[in-house]
Amino acid sequence: MGKKTKAIKVTDQGKPWEKRKNSYQYEAIRKANKTILIVCEGQTEEWYFSKFPVISLLVRCVNLQGQSKMNLVQATQEIVKNEDFIFDEVWCVFDMDVQNSDKDFANFDNSIDRAKSLGYNVAYSNDCFELWLLLHYKDIQSTQNREYYYEQLGKYFKMNYVKEGKRLDFCKRLYTLLQEDNNSSELQAIARAEKLHLRQKDLPYHQQKPVTLVYQLVQLLNEYKKV
């Protein structure tokens, strides 16, 4: 589990993340036992995490799609600096860039190091978030490209994942789909992801592949899940 960030102030959705604060938001903060901020780089992740049925936990998801990894971390820092609310933990969620050049490797590694130096948790995936989704259905041991994940998910979801997997309506129902599918197992996904991570955790981040630390954030959210 990622470490706590103590008494961190985080913005509501500013630029794309700024929202007008109202009495309902303050009441939600007051009643929550714990508050976390999740900053991600796509609507798939945003809606997936937003759909966890948690109690006594306030989850604020911010989608900064189109940002580089380092820009996402820097934007998170800006959010933290300007927010009125107190958040217990801050999570950055991003993938390895598909180009896999030396510059991409350095950006990926440096962004994770920078986020950690600020006290943030990082749920990174290499190659992509879809690895986490596919681990609900099968074990993955060897390196695969994201086209493989898209193809496999298309078979399990009975759809063209490349064309439909990023659509808003699908993103909104992704969490429920995984929970209700008898062929899907979140517990198995966590176990498989943890095994992959522990096997590679001493390698440089960009050399950890396949890997996804999304399981750590999911474990946190599940601690506050309605039963």
Q: In tens digits, what is the pLDDT along the chain, a chain of 227 residues?
A: 444 443 333 334 445 444 434 433 444 455 568 899 999 999 999 999 999 999 989 999 999 988 899 999 999 999 988 887 788 999 999 999 777 788 889 999 999 999 999 999 999 999 999 999 999 999 999 989 889 999 999 999 999 999 999 999 999 999 999 999 999 999 999 999 999 999 999 999 999 999 999 999 999 999 999 87
Q: How far apart are CA 143 and CA 106, in angstroms?
A: 19
- Asked if 196 and 140 count as a contact pair (C-beta separation under 8 A), the reply is yes
What is the residue type of 212? T
In a domain, 24, yes or no: yes
Q: How far apart are CA 1 and CA 219, in angstroms?
A: 8
- Asked if 35 and 83 count as a contact pair (C-beta separation under 8 A), the reply is no
Nearest to 186 by CA among 212, 161, 215, 166: 215
Say how many Å lie between the first and final Cα of the chain, rounded: 21
Nearest to 186 by CA among 170, 174, 197: 174
pLDDT at residue 83, rounded to an integer: 82
In a domain, 184, yes or no: yes
Q: Which two tokens stand for residue 180?
A: 């209700």
Q: How far apart are CA 137 and CA 135, in angstroms?
A: 5
Parent domain of 78: 8-222
pLDDT at residue 100, rounded to an integer: 73
In a domain, 3, yes or no: no
In a domain, 1, yes or no: no
Neighbours of 131 (CB within 10 A): 25
In a domain, 227, yes or no: no
Nearest to 225 by CA among 57, 74, 26, 14: 57
In a domain, 190, yes or no: yes
In a domain, 2, yes or no: no
In a domain, 192, yes or no: yes
Which neighbouring-strand residues pair with 35? 58
Q: How many domains does the chain have?
A: 1
Q: Which two tokens stand for residue 51?
A: 């759909």
- Asked if 131 and 123 count as a contact pair (C-beta separation under 8 A), the reply is no
pTM comes to 0.86
